[in-house]
Amino acid sequence: MRLFLAMFAMLFFLACEKPAPKPDTPTPTTESEIPESKTVSDESGFAWQTETFADLGILRYQVPDFDKLTLKQKEYVYYLTQAGLAGRDIIYDQNYRHNLTIRRGLEKMIENYKGDKSSRAYYDLETYAKRVWFANGIHHHYSMDKMLPDFSKEYFMEVASATGVKLSDEVMSAIFDPSYDNKKVNLDESKGLVKGSATNFYDSSLTEKEIRDYYKSIKVKTDKPVWYGLNSKVVKGDDGKIMEKVWHSNGMYGSAIKEIMGWLEKAAGVAENEDQAKALKLLIEYYRTGDLKTWDAYNIAWVKTTGGDIDYINGFIEVYNDPIGYKGSYESIVEIKDFEASKQMKVMADNAQWFEDNSTIATEHKKKKVMGISYKVVSVAGESGDAAPSTPIGVNLPNSDWIREIGSKSVSLGNIISAYDEASGPGMLDEFAHDKEEADRIRKHGGLGDKLSTALHEVIGHASGKLNQGVGTPKETLQSYASTLEEARADIVALYFIMDQKMVDMGLMESLDVAKAEYDGYIANGMMKQLVRIELGKVIEEAHMRNRQLISKWVFEKGAEENVIEKVVRDGKTYFNITDYNKLRSLFGDLLKELQRIKSEGDYEAGKALVENYGVQVDPAIHKEVLERSEKLKLPPYKGFINPMLVPETDADGKITNIKVTYPDNFKDQMMYYAKNFSFLPSEN
């Protein structure tokens, strides 16, 4: 499970450039003035934000202390990073069947066009290409709506003709037709979760019922189930029967997977210890065979490997891009341990049993013995696939509930959080804080509150609770609501415990003012601020946004009689003011108990009711107000990163003597470099 930047107080610093461009509505091309791009640099001259375009800001992150690693450790990081990039094409194809064709057409046009590159039309073409790179495809990375170009079809055809790019009528419809494959992940059941989604996980002829029935037919009853369907595309064979095209070295995506395996083999040769090498060899074997039992064996070995300074995430992992929650999106994150920060936070993992014992969840839903939890603050050295350019700030893995009984790893991406901080501004905080006292408290304590909430969410939240005996996995029982409910459960654990005196007693914070700042920010975000990311008139569809509104609206409603959270309208502006933090904490505890019950018992109807009644619908008046108030704040609502470049230095015999870190500052150049050096799949798979 992953925690995105928007989750907690970080959204205090986000605002709109326009309002945000509507992903599904084209703007006619004009020769108007090129929009201004904004950079943000520190006193040393390092550019944390290199450019802005559309609704996006492009940032950079640094890799502190990389030079302190041994040469062998640097090689390990380098090989793991290269392995991650080798699979970059996969996420494009997973997101949509025509993505690679479109991306490569755009790249060829940008590389070879000799016409006027100073025109607004060309600016819009290049901006569209950058949006496609950012989203790993033609659908918006957050709203899931198709991003229609701001240039005309005629201009596109002119540039395509001049550069030798030929695209089929179907691909042209994918780019320009507003109604064609217009939603990457559709969660509106009335449209069909599978039929209404453009993701490339299922044959277009299949229905959700057919897919679920197929997996029921092959499922083996066991208390240690493999994650059925995690690494495959479901299709109909020539005989009309349902079958899986498994992603492995000799199957679908094989040409890219072989490249990944080659780099992983090099990494295994310079691993820091035998446990790391053992886990990597299991990962390689999994990529070779596609065997999900091997994937589980790898995860067990990986979670038990806690020694060493370097770790990684690599594989088909998170299921947010699958409307029915089976298929894992490809991703890679390479991590270097931040020793000082990890030491400060280790106390949380060490007290995991205390948190479980003192949770508000029912006794029968608690783990009697919490095992194998580890927590680290890390510096990212490279990201790819679904983790880039838009990146999480925290991750807890593995996702399999029975393996979590053995252990789990939680990481907070420290240098990513720092980069966001360096590139941020105070806009949304000043606009939506109820009063100066609230704003000042957030300025003073919000940063720490965010870090602690991230840790609690990942370390304690996702690792807490257990399923009742005989209850199926959440993707089977809670179905399309599983991701939202799981993120809500982890959020609510963080919100409940950050207000506990135990956090002060453990030395993690000086006072409960940190918790109050977190509460202030969470409620303002869940009730109002996050709506800046949604087009007026639309509902909330992204799982993390749904869970934040679900929690905020639920406690607002349940606390209404005692006015725990008051709605204040002042000078035509709406604010939400917490009047009693302890009562609010008690409400968080009540919701935590119910969310865990829903997961433990597999109560689909109760889970659906929570999400649909509190997490989906948007108050149109509040939404309109949020967009109008945020329009004046000239900051993009979404941000992502240019990766550092790891550059090997070699001697006359080609042996690596050192690896240096450089910091590219041009997003387009990095994407074009990746296209030339890490493109291993055919355009149609």
**pLDDT score at 6:** 38
55 within some domain: no
- 565 with 594, same domain: the answer is yes
Which SS3 state, helix, strand or coil, does residue 381 take? strand
CB-based contact 392:363 (threshold 8 Å)? no
User: Is the confidence at residue 10, as pLDDT, over 50?
Assistant: no
Which tokens go with 547? 């869970």
- 324 with 445, same domain: the answer is no
User: Is the confidence at residue 4, as pLDDT, over 70?
Assistant: no
Averaged over 107-121, what is the pLDDT? 97
649 within some domain: no
DSSP 202: B
**pLDDT score at 631:** 81
- 240 with 314, same domain: the answer is yes
User: Is the confidence at residue 465, as pLDDT, over 50?
Assistant: yes
Q: Which residues pair with 375 in a beta bridge?
A: 410
**pLDDT score at 428:** 82
Q: Packing angle between helix 71-86 and helix 88-95, nearest 10 degrees?
A: 30
**Lowest-confidence region among 34-48, 122-136, 560-574:** 34-48
User: Is the confidence at residue 31, as pLDDT, over 60?
Assistant: no
DSSP-assigned letters across all residues of 483-497: HHHHHHHHHHHHHHH
**Up-side HSE of residue 243: CA atoms within 13 Å toward CB?**
9
For residue 55, name the pLDDT band (cuts at 50, 70, 90): very high
- 435 with 328, same domain: the answer is no
For residue 27, name the pLDDT band (cuts at 50, 70, 90): very low
- 591 with 612, same domain: the answer is yes
- 439 with 496, same domain: the answer is yes
133 within some domain: no
Which tokens go with 501? 């005196």
Q: What is the mean pLDDT of the chain?
A: 92
Burial label, 240 (beta-carbon count in 10 A; 0-12, 13-18, 19+): exposed
CB-based contact 280:264 (threshold 8 Å)? yes
Averaged over 489-512, what is the pLDDT? 96
**pLDDT score at 19:** 31
393 within some domain: no
Provide the domain limits for residue 232: 65-85+189-336
CATH number at residue 207: 3.30.540.30
Burial label, 507 (beta-carbon count in 10 A; 0-12, 13-18, 19+): exposed
157 within some domain: no
604 within some domain: yes
What is the spatial distance between Cα 412 and Cα 451, in angstroms, rounded to a whole number? 8
- 198 with 284, same domain: the answer is yes
Among the listed residues 195, 94, 113, 217, the one whose alpha carbon sits nearest the alpha carbon of residue 156: 113
- 303 with 351, same domain: the answer is no
Q: What is the dihedral of CA 372, 373, 378, 382, to 10 degrees?
A: 70
The C-alpha angle with vertex 414 and arms to 409 and 416, in degrees rounded to 5, equals 115
**Lowest-confidence region among 393-397, 604-608, 638-642:** 393-397
478 within some domain: yes
Cα 638 to Cα 35, 327, 454, 483, distances in angstroms: 17, 25, 19, 21
What is the spatial distance between Cα 272 and Cα 276, in angstroms, rounded to a whole number? 7
User: Is the confidence at residue 22, as pLDDT, over 70?
Assistant: no
User: Is the confidence at residue 8, as pLDDT, over 60?
Assistant: no
Averaged over 471-491, what is the pLDDT? 94
Number of domains in the chain: 2
For residue 684, name the pLDDT band (cuts at 50, 70, 90): very high
- 361 with 324, same domain: the answer is no
**Lowest-confidence region among 107-111, 651-655, 669-673:** 651-655
For residue 46, name the pLDDT band (cuts at 50, 70, 90): very high
Which tokens go with 339? 């020793």
Ordered strands of the 408-413 beta sheet:
2-4, 392-397, 408-413, 373-385, 330-337, 310-316
Q: What is the pLDDT of residues 611-623, one digit of tens each?
A: 999 999 999 999 9
- 357 with 255, same domain: the answer is no
Which tokens go with 320? 């947010």
User: Is the confidence at residue 21, as pLDDT, over 50?
Assistant: no
- 483 with 502, same domain: the answer is yes
- 215 with 362, same domain: the answer is no
Domain limit, last residue, from 632, 656, 680? 632
163 within some domain: no
DSSP 499: T
Higher pLDDT pick, 8 / 103: 103
Sorted by sequence, the CB contacts under 8 Å of residue 489 that are 6+ apart come out as: 461, 464, 465, 592, 595, 596, 599
Higher pLDDT pick, 79 / 373: 79
DSSP-assigned letters across all residues of 503-516: HHHTTS-SSTHHHH
